[in-house]
Every structure is written in C-alpha cells, then in structure tokens.
Amino acid sequence: MTDRFTFTISATEGKARTGVIRMQRGEIRTPAFMPVGTAATVKAMKPADVRGIGADIILGNTYHLMLRPTAERVAKLGGLHAFMGWDRPILTDSGGYQVMSLSSLRKITEEGVRFASHLDGSRHMLTPERSMEIQRLLGSDIVMCFDECPANGVSRDEAAKSMAMSMRWAERSRDAFDAGTDHAARSALFGIQQGSLDEALRRESADALKEIGFDGYAIGGLAVGEGQEAMFACLDFAPDMLPADKPRYLMGVGKPDDLVGAVERGVDMFDCVMPTRSGRNGQAFTWDGPLNIRNAKFAEDPTPLDPESPTAQWSKAYLHHLVRSGEILGAMLMTEHNLWFYQQVMAGMRGAIAEGRFAVWAATFRGRYLPKG
C-alpha cells in the first residue's frame, strides 16, 4: 500500500544515505532528527514553530502519556495529532525504556513489565499487546515494538537473555499491531535491534527481526552510558545487519557530532531530548561547538548565537540575562535555536550526500565543532 509507508533512497556516499519516507500525513526527509514531545508537547515550543525550524516528524512517549492524561483520554479527544495541534507524522516509542529507567519498582516477566508509576505509585502492567493498544489509541504514525533496554555493562548472558525476550516481544508486537485494523492500515511498525555491544547478539537480533518483517528497524540499547567510542564501534556493524531498503533509526541519540558519525555509518533517523533539555539549562549548540550562555563572558556580548538563527534578533547578552534570571522566554529562545541548529545539521548532511561531498562536509564540520586539543 504505497500511501501508507514508503522509503526511497535518492543518493548515497559510502554508508551515508539520503532519501524520503512518505506517509499519509506527510514526507520525512532523511537523515531526519525528531524533536522529542514527551508529554504531547515539544517543551517550550509551539507546534507551528517546531515545523517552522524544519522538523518533519516529532516523537511522543507511550509511558508518560499512558499515565497522564491517559491514552484513552487522548483518543476521546481525537487522538494525539488533534490533541496537541500537530498535523504531520508522529512516532511513538513503546514505553519500554522509560519503564526500565524511571520505575524503581518493577517486575519483568515473559508477559511484560509490572511497574509503579513515578507520578503517584499506581500499579500498571505494560505488555507488547498493551503497548500496541496505547499507541493505537494515541493514533501515532510510526509505532515502536515493545522491548527491554538493558543497562550498560550487563553481562553477555544477561544481554543475550534480554535480547531473546525482546525478540519474542517483537513478534507479539507485530501480531497485536496487525490486529489494529484501521490504524495498522495507515501506520508503520518498527522493530528494535538489541544485543548490547556484542556483534553476534546484534546479528541474532537482526535476523529475528527480519524474519518477522517490519517497515523500519531501530538500533536500541545505545546511548545508555557506553560513550561515543563504544557506540561508534557498535554502529560500525549494527546498521549493516538491517535491511538496506528500510529506514534505520538510532534511538536516543544524541550530540551533533554523534549524529554526523552515525549518518556516516548508515543511520537515517534520530531523536534526543538534548537540544531541548540543554536549551532550558542554558546550553546552546553552534557550528563552533556548544556554549554555556550563563557564562559571564556573554553578559555584554552584542552578537547573536547565529546570524541565521530564528533567534538572531536577540543578542547573547540578552539571552544570558534571560537565562540567569530564570525567565521563561530564555528557555523558549534557547530551545528554538537548538532545534533549529539540529535541523540545519540534518539539512547540511542531506545536501552534502546528495551532491557527493559528504566526506568533506563531515570533516569540515568536525574541524570547526569539536574542541581543538
């Protein structure tokens, strides 16, 4: 069904690819960065402004929305798109990562995960079937399989056991998604590769996912504290194990230089809270690297963060004042700038790959962005 989900690769350079995902709610240009809208909002941003800085798709969070305001309430109010005022594609994660990281009281079984809400301690059960139901009630366009994301540093046996269970959950997710009738007919389902940093486990996971069959494939279990060097070492082989004609999504990544390195290794999609969270905390991303706007050296700096930024009419001195004063506008402007910058990085990579100059672009980016040692 061509109007449901298609992925077309228009150019490659090495392992890097650029292309377009087409869905009923619009096109997603790849490589793509998805701003994170955890609780049905990209923090400090209006939806029109998120679109205005170049985002084609945003991410919503199953775990947070199932607890508040509840998926059932969102469905009653017309679905997540209508609820938050965003008419383009939305990807929802499965809730698995948040259950593992935010719920101190949890019990993992073959059925799923029983946990206590971090909000009020209420008890909940999240299974592959319930995750698919929640994402169906939300009405998301790209649905993620329910999986377990093991912590960094677990033993190989623990990683293998977790990965095998995630693959069984992937099959149950596939069955439950397909039972979703209208939602399944217009949405896409992505599987999630696990296996920690182990090449053999990653291959076993990829083979299991390909046997089930998905519209796209995510690389999970990274950006959990292993560091960039170890992450890149895993990405040297993990994306190659996934189908070349499907989108590859690296979950929860990352810093701008992480994105460039991952695209070099064949990744097409990303999400991360870093540009929004960092913005609220006074960190701005620029072509010359990140800067802390709270630093006293910016107190009388009349220049903008970037002359092309949507925040260019305001000086670093004014942003310094807003952030140091705890003014809401400071968080808004810093967030808008950071999300704009991330989209500029993605647009730069797309253009460079299309024109066969990505290696030069990436080297130039790193030469300017990374600290000089």
DSSP 275-335: HHHHHHTTEE--TT--EETTSGGGTT--S-S-TTSTTTTS-HHHHHHHHHHT-HHHHHHHH
Element at 372 (helix H, strand E): none
Q: What are the start-end ranges of the E strands in the chain?
A: 5-13, 16-23, 26-30, 32-37, 58-61, 90-93, 106-108, 113-116, 123-126, 142-144, 188-193, 216-219, 248-250, 269-272, 283-284, 291-292
The answer to whether 96 and 124 are in contact (CB under 8 A) is no
**Which residue among 93, 147, 215, 268 is the active-site one?**
93
Residue tagged active-site, from 56, 141, 268, 271 = 271
Contact 119, 170 (CB under 8 A): no
105: exposed, middle or buried (C-beta count within 10 Å: 0-12, 13-18, 19+)? exposed
**Residues 6 or more apart whose Cβ sits within 8 Å of residue 366:** 257, 260
Which amino acid makes up residue 46?
A: K
Tokens of 365: 């980016």
93 is catalytic: yes
**Tokens standing for residue 312:** 């260019």
Both tokens assigned to 281: 């905390």
Q: How far apart are alpha carbons 42 and 60 in whole angstroms?
A: 9
> Catalytic positions, please?
93, 271
